[in-house]
Amino acid sequence: MNFEKVIDRQKTNSMKWDFVSERYGSDDLWPMWVADMDFRAPQPVLDAMQEVINHGVFGYHRRPDSLFEATASWLKKRFDWGVENNQLVYTPGVVPAISHLIQTFTEKGDGVIIQPPVYYPFYALINYNDRKLLRNPLKETEQGFAMDIEDLEKQMQEGAKMLLLCSPHNPIGRVWSQEELEQVAKLCEKYNVLVVSDEIHADLVLKGTHTPFAKLAADKGMDVDVITCMAPSKTFNLAALQLSYVVFQQEEAKKQYEEQLQRQFVGIDNPFATVAAEAAYREGEEWLEKLLDYVQDNVDFVKQYIETNIPVMNVIEPEGTYLVWIDMRELNMGASKLQSWLREEGKLALSDGHIFGNEGAGFARINVAAPRANVEEGLNRLKQAYDKL
């Protein structure tokens, strides 16, 4: 559990490290983009996977009840959220799960609300499925970014069928408060809007408390349809193993979704993901707590570094996720000039703000789930580019 140790990920087919050139057009850029971590997974996960290798037989595999039990007990322990095993459906990723949920519960042309700037595949999920994109941009307040509840109601009056909630929010890093979630739930109840709550970052909370939207609605006795997407992938750095799950509140909805998966022949599981997820949920908590401390230290470091060396930029301190949203609007470059400056002068491959929606123009997102030395290298490059301006 040495998060300081730099592990060379180059030439391992790592998307973050080995596909920079393909994505950014140059291979001398320092990668701070993809949301995965430069850390090894917890030791119990590695041991469990090693056992599967030692056995050496990789025939067809089904997810065992013990995985359901480990997942349910994790949700209970971390969020005091009681989920029965028969509410869960495992899926090979949150993004495909959302696509299947859109297909199952909406029709072509139906309105789906998102809250930009937001995780950019949400746009593709709605557009590729020929649904109507309804935008409810976050607003900037004195206290930071917040939901625009008035505008949300307007979008619902447009006839929205679904709200794609990002909780905690990527890239802003907000961990939504119970009050904010309750306001959303009230509107969804009033306008009969189904909430698909993407809670993939739920375990990565630095400040505040994550409340599963479905738990909040149930605790308040509200009549809101909610389907939750979660995964151990961000939490324990297991994204390549492609395991996530969807939590249903209604049996009928779960049945419809499973039928949709059957029609698309989704459902072959792999044993590495099973044992990794189970080991992570049963034995990974201590690792996670240390990770969160390390990430918070990196966030503090970024804040301090930028305040001291690049005061024209402003760090939006995340309450959750290991992603830091940096406000670069005072540089007064348009989105495309800022993008080329970051690449050509900064030699950085980070996530340009405008890809999360127009509201993100002038911002950039960096990933700080990396050894301090890696984060520092990226910041030094940013400073050098700034000093030359």
Ligand X SMILES: Cc1ncc(COP(=O)(O)O)c(C=O)c1O
CA distances from 314 to 111, 302, 309, 330, 363 (A): 34, 10, 11, 9, 9
Residue 95 in the binding site for ligand X (CB under 6 A): yes
Ranges within 162-191 binding ligand X (CB under 6 A): 166, 170
Q: Are 311 and 298 in contact (CB under 8 A)?
A: no
Quick one: 95 or 156, whose CB is closer to ligand X? 95
Q: How far apart are CA 283 and CA 279, in angstroms?
A: 6
Stretch that binds ligand X, among 7-15, 25-33, 91-99, 255-263 (CB under 6 A): 91-99
Quick one: 165 or 379, whose CB is closer to ligand X? 165
Stretch that binds ligand X, among 88-96, 153-161, 178-186, 328-336 (CB under 6 A): 88-96
Quick one: 33 or 341, whose CB is closer to ligand X? 33
Quick one: 35 or 369, whose CB is closer to ligand X? 35
Quick one: 230 or 279, whose CB is closer to ligand X? 230
Hunting for tokens 């109507």 — which residue is that?
Answer: 132
x-marked contacts with ligand X along 124-153 as a string, rule CB under 6 A: ------------------------------
Contacting ligand X (CB under 6 A), which of 93, 151, 186, 377?
93
Quick one: 87 or 233, whose CB is closer to ligand X? 233
Q: In the bound complex, what is the minimum distance in angstroms from residue 252's beta carbon to ligand X?
A: 25
Stretch that binds ligand X, among 81-89, 90-98, 183-191, 206-214 (CB under 6 A): 90-98
Of the CA atoms within 13 Å of residue 168, those in its CB half-sphere come to 25
Q: In the bound complex, what is the minimum distance in angstroms from residue 282's beta carbon to ligand X?
A: 21
Structure tokens at 379: 């910041």
Q: Would you tell me how many other CB atoms lie within 10 Å of the CB of residue 153?
A: 15
Residue 35 in the binding site for ligand X (CB under 6 A): yes
Q: How far apart are CA 45 and CA 152, in angstroms?
A: 41
Q: Residue type for 196, please?
A: V
Contacting ligand X (CB under 6 A), which of 30, 105, 119, 287?
119
Q: Would you tell me how many other CB atoms lie within 10 Å of the CB of residue 37?
A: 24
First-to-last C-alpha distance (Å) of the chain: 40
Stretch that binds ligand X, among 99-107, 188-196, 231-239, 276-284 (CB under 6 A): 231-239
Contacting ligand X (CB under 6 A), which of 32, 160, 239, 276?
239
Residue 171: is the preceding peptide bond cis (ω within 30°)?
yes
Task: Tell me the site size for ligand X, rule CB under 6 A.
Answer: 13
Hunting for tokens 């408390």 — which residue is that?
Answer: 209
Q: 372-387 vs 285-309: helix axis angle to the nearest 10? A: 20
Quick one: 16 or 381, whose CB is closer to ligand X? 16
Residue 198 in the binding site for ligand X (CB under 6 A): yes
Quick one: 39 or 341, whose CB is closer to ligand X? 39
Q: Residue type for 242, please?
A: Q
Hunting for tokens 């479905």 — which residue is that?
Answer: 214
Stretch that binds ligand X, among 87-95, 132-140, 328-336, 356-364 (CB under 6 A): 87-95
CA distances from 96 to 72, 163, 233, 301 (A): 22, 17, 14, 35
Q: Are 149 and 329 in contact (CB under 8 A)?
A: no
Nearest to 350 by CA among 331, 324, 329, 376: 324
Stretch that binds ligand X, among 64-72, 89-97, 123-131, 310-318 (CB under 6 A): 89-97
Structure tokens at 301: 């470091």
Q: How far apart are CA 252 and CA 316, in angstroms?
A: 41
Q: Are 132 and 162 in contact (CB under 8 A)?
A: no
Residue 233 in the binding site for ligand X (CB under 6 A): yes
Quick one: 180 or 189, whose CB is closer to ligand X? 180
Q: In the bound complex, what is the minimum distance in angstroms from residue 259's beta carbon to ligand X?
A: 21
Residue 208 in the binding site for ligand X (CB under 6 A): no
Residue nearest to ligand X (CB): 93
Which residues of the chain form contacts with ligand X (CB under 6 A)? 35, 93-95, 119, 166, 170, 198, 200, 231, 233, 239, 244
